[in-house]
Structure 1
C-alpha cells in the first residue's frame, strides 16, 4: 500500500478510479475479485465517526485498512464500506512518562525512527511499511518480542469508534474489556481504533545480525540442529531459518540461518549468537559472517528489498507447533523441493514462549512457528505454485495447534487462532458492542 499524500475522499463503486484505489490499499498485488460498494478515506477521527454513522444509516458492513499488509486482503470484502485509516498516521512521544500515542496508519519504520532519535524502543513490525493498526490488533510479533513481549502487551490504551458511532477510550481502568479484545482480536475486532497509546522501552544499546548460509542439500541436518538448539537460545536473539531460492551469498537455493540480536553490549550480543559459530555444522556452511552491527531501520528495509518485494501476488499460511522436528523433516523437504521462485520463502522461527502472558484475547502460541509465503510475479503461474503455502500447511495440520493471525489464511484454510475460552469471550463482547455485525468478522472460522 502506498502512503497517500492527498486528502482522503469517498469513492463509490463504479467510479473511474475505484478499482485502482481499492487495489492500492493492499501490499498484496493479487486482485481478490471482491469489491465493496464504497471506499471512505478518512482524514481524522471526526470523519471516522461520520463514516461509521453513515454505514449504520445505510446498512453497510465495514472493513478496515490501516497499512494494507494483510496477506489475505482481509479488508477487501464484497459489498459494504471499506474504511481506509492510513491517513491517521500521527506520532506523539512523551519521553517523561515513557509513552507514545500513534494513529493506526503510522508505519512501523516511522515509529522506530522517531523513537530511535530519543533512545527509546517499541517492538515494531519487522517490515518498515507495515501499518501499526493491524499489527497491534493481531498481537504484534515484533522486534525483540521474545524479550519485551508481544507488541500488544505494550498497548496501554486505545481510542475506538464503536458500531453505534461513539468514540470511547479503553484502558485497564476504563472499558477494560475493549482493551482485552484489542490485544489480539486482529481482523475480528469490532471497532475502528483511531489512536493507540503505547508504553515504550529503553532502546537496546547494540543491534546486529549474525548470518550463516547452507545449501539446501543440508536441510535435514540444519533443521535438526536448529530444533535442538532453539530452547537454549537467548530471548535477545530472534533465531530463525529461511528457505530462499536466492539465499544470501550463494544466490541459489539455500537455508539462511539468521540471528538478529538486540542486547545491552556487543559482548553480550556475541555471547548470545555464539551457538551459531559453535555449531557442529559450521564446516558445512557455504557462508558464515561475523556478528555485524546494523541499525534496526536498515534491517527492516533490507528484509523488504530481499524477501517482500512489491508487485507480487502473495498467499501466506502458518502453523504453531510443539512437535519435535524429526516427523516434520520429510514434509519440510517437500516444501523446499516444490518452493516457487523468489521471493517465495519459508520461515522457521524459534519462539519458546514464556510460561504466561497477561490476560488478553491473544492466547495461542507454541514452541516453534512455521510460515510459508508464496510470492508470485509475472502473469503465469502453475496451480501448484498458486497453492504452495496452503497445500503444504494443510498437509501438516496434524502437527499444528493453530495459526497466527499475522499470517492468516482463514478464508482458504480455517484453523484455530485463539484459545476456545478466549474466542467465546470475544464473541460475547462482539455481540454486546456490535449486535448488528456492522464490522466484518473473520473471513473463516474453524468449526
Structure 2
C-alpha cells in the first residue's frame, strides 16, 4: 500500500475499525456489514490513490460525505469505503456569485459562509447534511421551489473515475459525466471531489409560521393541504408533519410548518396569510404568529428537534400525483401505527413550477412529496417499527410516480428513482466509464 494512503486507511479487524465505519453514519443503526477497509481522504489525490488501490485488489468502492443517508447505503459488505467528510473547503467569489465547495462541506457551514456576502444557495434543510450526497441525489433545499434544486445550480464538478483519473465535468467538457452527477445519487459511477455552484441574492427575511391540529382532524387537514397547495407562493414551503409529540400540544397531532423566504417581513406575512385566514383555523389547537429568524438558527433547531442524534433511522418516501382520497386511508393507518417521537410523517406540497429543467439525470418529481421517518430511540420500540416507513411507502406504490433518492430505502424496497430513459442512459454510461462496475450502485448492486 502507498505510504501516504496507509496513513489515512483502516483495515477490517484493526482496533477502532468498527467504530470508525459506524461514525460515518448519522443514524445509530448498525447495518451488520463492514467494508474491507476505510479511507478518510484529505484531497482529490487521496481519492484517486484509494480508487486505484481498490482496483488493484479487485474491490468495489463506496463513498460518503455527511452520512445522512437513512438507508446507510454507503456501508456495504466488503470493498472499500472512502470517507469524504474532510474535503470540506469553501471558496466564494461574491463578484461572480459563484462558489467552490468540497463534498464534505455541510449545509449549515455553507449557508453561514454565504450570509455575510448577501448570497444564497438552496442548501439542505438540516444543518449537518453534507453537500456531496445532497447534490448528487438532486438537492431539495431551502427555497428550491423558487431558485431550483441544488443540482439545478451546479455548474461543474471535479470527479475521480473508476480508472483513478481526476477530470472536470461541465456543460462544455465531459458532458455525459456532468449529466449523470446531477441526480443519480448512489447510482453515480464516480466520486465528486469538488462542486462549482451558482449563487443567488439572499432573501431579506426568513421566517416560519406554524399551526397545530390534533390527530382527529387529519382527514380535513390533508384535504385542505392538497387543495391549497397549488395556490401557495413558491417562496413558501408548505409542510404538514404528523408527530406523536406535536408542538404545543405534546400529543399526537399535525403540525403545519411553513418556512417563508421573502424580501421583507410585510411581504412574508402576506405570503402566509392563508393560514390565519384558512377555513380550518377554528379547529386548530394553536396558531403562532410569523416568527423571523436567521436561516442557520432555524436549521439547527429543526435538526435538533426533528432529527436528534442517537437515533436509529428507517425512512422511505413516495412522489404522488393522484387523487388525495387514495392517500388518506394509508396516511391514517400510518399515523395510527407510527412509532414514538422522533418518528414523523412529512407531507410537502412541492407542486413543481412548469420549468424546463436543464438536461440531467434527475427526472422524477410530482405534486406531493410524502416521506415516512421512523426514528427509534432507547428500548421502547418493537422490531416491527423498523418496517413502518417501508410498509407505509409500499402501500402507496400503485399511486406513486416513484421515490426520491434523499429519503429512499432501496436496500429494503426497490422503487423507481429515475425515469426509464434516464435510467437506461445512466446504465449505458456506467458501462462506458465503469465497465468493471468498480463503484457500488443503487440498492444491493
Q: Name the TM-score, length of structure 2 as normaliser.
A: 0.97
| Match of residue 317 from structure 2 | 318
**d(CA) in 1 for partners of 2:215 and 2:204?**
35
Q: Per the alignment, in what secondary structure is the counterpart of residue 327 of structure 2?
A: helix
| Match of residue 273 from structure 2 | 274
Asked whether the equivalents of residues 101 and 195 of structure 2 are also in contact (C-alpha less than 8 Å), the reply is yes
| Match of residue 56 from structure 2 | 57
| Match of residue 442 from structure 2 | 442
Structure 1 residues 239-254: aligned runs within 5 Å: 239-254=238-253
Asked whether the equivalents of residues 339 and 381 of structure 2 are also in contact (C-alpha less than 8 Å), the reply is no
Deviations 1:3-54 (A, max 9, x none): xxxx972000001101100100000100001110000111111111110111
Asked whether the equivalents of residues 269 and 290 of structure 2 are also in contact (C-alpha less than 8 Å), the reply is yes
Higher deviation after alignment, 270-279 or 155-164: 270-279
| Match of residue 411 from structure 1 | 411
| Match of residue 3 from structure 1 | none
| Match of residue 375 from structure 1 | 375
1:219: how far off? Answer: 0.4
Asked whether the equivalents of residues 204 and 263 of structure 1 are also in contact (C-alpha less than 8 Å), the reply is yes
> Would you say 1:20 and 2:19 are equivalent positions?
yes
Higher deviation after alignment, 236-245 or 269-278: 269-278
**d(CA) in 2 for partners of 1:8 and 1:418?**
39
Distance of aligned partners of 1:444 and 1:35 in 2 relative to their CA distance in 1, 3 Å threshold: closer
**d(CA) in 2 for partners of 1:77 and 1:86?**
18
**d(CA) in 2 for partners of 1:56 and 1:296?**
43
| Match of residue 115 from structure 2 | 116
Q: Per the alignment, in what secondary structure is the counterpart of residue 387 of structure 1?
A: helix
Structure 1 residues 128-143: aligned runs within 5 Å: 128-143=127-142
| Match of residue 304 from structure 1 | 303
Asked whether the equivalents of residues 362 and 418 of structure 2 are also in contact (C-alpha less than 8 Å), the reply is yes
Structure 1 residues 145-160: aligned runs within 5 Å: 145-160=144-159
Structure 1 residues 420-435: aligned runs within 5 Å: 420-435=420-435
1:379: how far off? Answer: 3.4
Deviations 1:383-407 (A, max 9, x none): 3312110111111211111100000
1:246: how far off? Answer: 1.0
1:299: how far off? Answer: 1.0
Asked whether the equivalents of residues 8 and 43 of structure 1 are also in contact (C-alpha less than 8 Å), the reply is no
Deviations 1:342-366 (A, max 9, x none): 0000000000112231111000000
Distance of aligned partners of 1:193 and 1:8 in 2 relative to their CA distance in 1, 3 Å threshold: farther
Asked whether the equivalents of residues 105 and 130 of structure 2 are also in contact (C-alpha less than 8 Å), the reply is yes
Asked whether the equivalents of residues 35 and 76 of structure 2 are also in contact (C-alpha less than 8 Å), the reply is yes
**d(CA) in 2 for partners of 1:325 and 1:275?**
20
**d(CA) in 2 for partners of 1:328 and 1:268?**
33
Q: CA RMSD in A?
A: 1.1
Asked whether the equivalents of residues 236 and 260 of structure 2 are also in contact (C-alpha less than 8 Å), the reply is yes
| Match of residue 3 from structure 2 | none
**d(CA) in 1 for partners of 2:399 and 2:336?**
20
Asked whether the equivalents of residues 313 and 376 of structure 1 are also in contact (C-alpha less than 8 Å), the reply is yes
**d(CA) in 2 for partners of 1:308 and 1:110?**
18
1:324: how far off? Answer: 2.1
Identify unmatched segments of 5+ residues in structure 1.
1-6
**d(CA) in 2 for partners of 1:95 and 1:381?**
49
1:381: how far off? Answer: 2.7
1:444: how far off? Answer: 5.0
Q: Name the TM-score, length of structure 1 as normaliser.
A: 0.97
Asked whether the equivalents of residues 8 and 40 of structure 1 are also in contact (C-alpha less than 8 Å), the reply is no
Q: Runs of at least 4 residues of structure 1 off by over 2 A?
A: none
Q: Give the length in aligned residue pairs.
A: 439
Structure 1 residues 196-211: aligned runs within 5 Å: 196-211=195-210
1:251: how far off? Answer: 1.1
Deviations 1:267-302 (A, max 9, x none): 221121111111111011111011111111011111
Higher deviation after alignment, 384-393 or 118-127: 384-393
1:328: how far off? Answer: 1.5
**d(CA) in 1 for partners of 2:49 and 2:187?**
21
**d(CA) in 2 for partners of 1:163 and 1:130?**
26
| Match of residue 42 from structure 1 | 41
**d(CA) in 2 for partners of 1:161 and 1:330?**
47
1:201: how far off? Answer: 0.5
